């Protein structure tokens, strides 16, 4: 892989971004990129700590002996790994780096997510640690792991080793905004026991693909389709008109991403082929009309796979799956009463998968209110229990609550005015951030979050704006200088 980003400025930022893009870093497999951070610290003679879970803290002292300010810079090492359905089937995110490309003002990865969420934060932090010409306060650069998988790194990190009480999180995707609070979240799993029986007939693949997808916090207010639930709705429509047996069902790759694709494999009586194709074709027209202007690339189709004899789910198992997919809430549950543009509570049915002994539905819920998150969890638990499914809470993280008095926010506001000649937008954020965990763990910590323009995160259409990444880096440096 060549130096695709050579010549882009700031040179150090984009050099480090390209270097970490060569290193596989899906959630749960951050050891290699963690090794890279440790090697960087050793090579620069910087003090570092690496904990058992893989978080790395790198400390850089100020050049000024009289400096009494310590600032924590924080971002996560892992990335959401999704690829286009037509991209290289052999690409393995746990083994292969990204194929970076530049088009006009954008950096993207061919066929896959880019990992600018949160790779650009990692690049910013490394560039700052590397530049001895900068006159800055003491820096504690915290690189956390597995943010995209329940924020496991931040939850496990021992914050007692941090001296700083100003924390700048670099995990936002809209330039010009300074975040002031964020939602808490919870991932739950509904596990339905299943059994099988031998069935013969004509096999069909039922496919829903081409949806926009996106971040289940950032894009949940866009009204995009959820492939898992749309497939559940289609299968229910088929059930009302004809008999079929369900051989396989699956969809979604990450609970924090709105599912873009889902697939079912069914077996029917050969005499019902025309009827099935008519039902699917009609459903496709209806759904495409419902999502007109939102999901213009959506495809819904049935493909005849010929005669087949296979193990299919029993009627009870199929009925339980259908119930869950057609009753679980979807998308926005409640908007903020104080801010019409802020989602207060939401739910994303992110992953469904079938194994030999169970059907699993993995759900991500977010809320600015702990009580509403709890109530939504109870609702899912009741739904699961009504069909004999087990309900498990796999992770939970707190909200980052709004603090009316924030000296760090005031400094950032003034620095933004100086650089951009206008006021930044101060806003709450529905997506979950590690800020909530540090807010709960560290008494008196003062937190802000911001970042450059990144479009379509958690999808293969992810794009990082080159000019925005450069200007936000200058903004970050200005804040540090003012501190």
Catalytic residues: 78, 147
User: Which residues, 6 or more positions from 118, have their beta carbon under 8 angstroms from its beta carbon?
Assistant: 75, 76, 77, 79, 147, 170, 171
Cα separations (Å) of 168 from 149, 299, 475? 21, 42, 12
Question: Can you read off the two tokens belonging to residue 263?
Answer: 């697939």
Question: Can you read off the two tokens belonging to residue 42?
Answer: 């050793």
The partner residues of 169 in beta bridges, in order of sequence, read 74, 449
Question: Can you read off the two tokens belonging to residue 332?
Answer: 């926005």
217 secondary structure, DSSP code: T
Buried b or exposed e, range 68-106, using 16+ CB within 10 angstroms: eebbbbbbbbbbbbbbbeeeeeebebeeebbbbeeeeeb
Contact 34, 85 (CB under 8 A): no
Residue 226's nearest CA partner among 342, 86, 348 is 348
C-alpha torsion angle, residues 410, 414, 74, 33 (rounded to 10): 170
Buried b or exposed e, range 391-424, using 16+ CB within 10 angstroms: beeebbbbbbbeeeebebbebbbebbeebeeeeb
Contact 452, 468 (CB under 8 A): yes
- Distance separating alpha carbons of residues 102 and 196, to the nearest angstrom: 49
Question: Can you read off the two tokens belonging to residue 272?
Answer: 């019902």
């Amino acid at each position: 892989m060549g130096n695709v980003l050579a010549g882009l400025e700031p040179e150090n930022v984009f050099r480090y971004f390209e270097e970490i893009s060569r290193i596989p870093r899906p959630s749960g497999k951050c050891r290699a990129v963690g090794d890279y951070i440790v090697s960087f610290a050793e090579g620069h003679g910087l003090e570092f700590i690496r904990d058992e879970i893989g978080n790395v803290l790198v400390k850089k002292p100020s050049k000024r002996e009289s400096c009494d300010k310590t600032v924590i810079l924080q971002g996560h090492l892992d990335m959401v790994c999704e690829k286009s359905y037509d991209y290289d089937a052999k690409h393995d995110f746990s083994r292969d780096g990204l194929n970076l490309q530049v088009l006009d003002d954008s950096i993207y990865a061919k066929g896959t997510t880019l990992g600018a969420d949160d790779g650009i934060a990692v690049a910013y932090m490394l560039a700052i640690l590397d530049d001895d010409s900068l006159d800055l306060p003491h820096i504690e650069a915290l690189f956390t792991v597995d943010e995209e998988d329940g924020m496991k790194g931040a939850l496990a990190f021992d914050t007692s080793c941090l001296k700083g009480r100003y924390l700048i999180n670099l995990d936002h995707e809209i330039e010009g905004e300074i975040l002031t609070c964020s939602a808490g979240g919870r991932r739950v799993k509904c596990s339905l026991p299943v059994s099988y029986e031998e069935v013969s007939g004509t096999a069909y693949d039922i496919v829903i693909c081409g949806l926009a997808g996106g971040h289940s916090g950032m894009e949940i207010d866009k009204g995009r389709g959820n492939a898992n639930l749309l497939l559940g709705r289609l299968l229910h429509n088929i059930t009302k008109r004809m008999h079929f047996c369900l051989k396989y069902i699956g969809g979604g790759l990450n609970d924090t991403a709105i599912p873009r694709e889902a697939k079912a494999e069914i077996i029917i009586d050969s005499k019902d082929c025309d009827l099935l194709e008519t039902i699917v074709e009609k459903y496709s027209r209806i759904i495409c009309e419902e999502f007109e202007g939102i999901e213009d690339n959506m495809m819904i189709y049935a493909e005849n796979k010929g005669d087949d004899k296979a193990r299919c789910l029993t009627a009870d198992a199929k009925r339980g799956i259908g119930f869950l997919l057609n009753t679980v809430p979807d998308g926005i549950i409640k908007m903020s009463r104080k801010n019409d543009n802020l989602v207060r509570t939401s739910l994303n049915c992110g992953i469904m998968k079938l194994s030999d002994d169970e059907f699993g539905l993995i759900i991500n819920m977010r809320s600015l209110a702990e009580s509403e998150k709890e109530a939504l969890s109870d609702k899912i638990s009741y739904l699961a229990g009504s069909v004999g499914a087990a309900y498990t809470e796999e992770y939970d993280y707190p909200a980052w609550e709004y603090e009316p008095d924030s000296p760090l926010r005031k400094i950032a506001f003034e620095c933004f005015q100086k650089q951009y000649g206008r006021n930044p937008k101060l806003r709450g954020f529905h997506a979950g951030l590690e800020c909530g965990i540090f807010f709960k763990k560290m008494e008196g910590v003062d937190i802000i979050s911001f970042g450059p323009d990144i479009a379509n995160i958690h999808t293969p259409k992810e794009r990082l704006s080159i000019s925005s990444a450069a200007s936000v880096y200058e903004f970050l440096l200005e804040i540090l200088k003012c501190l």
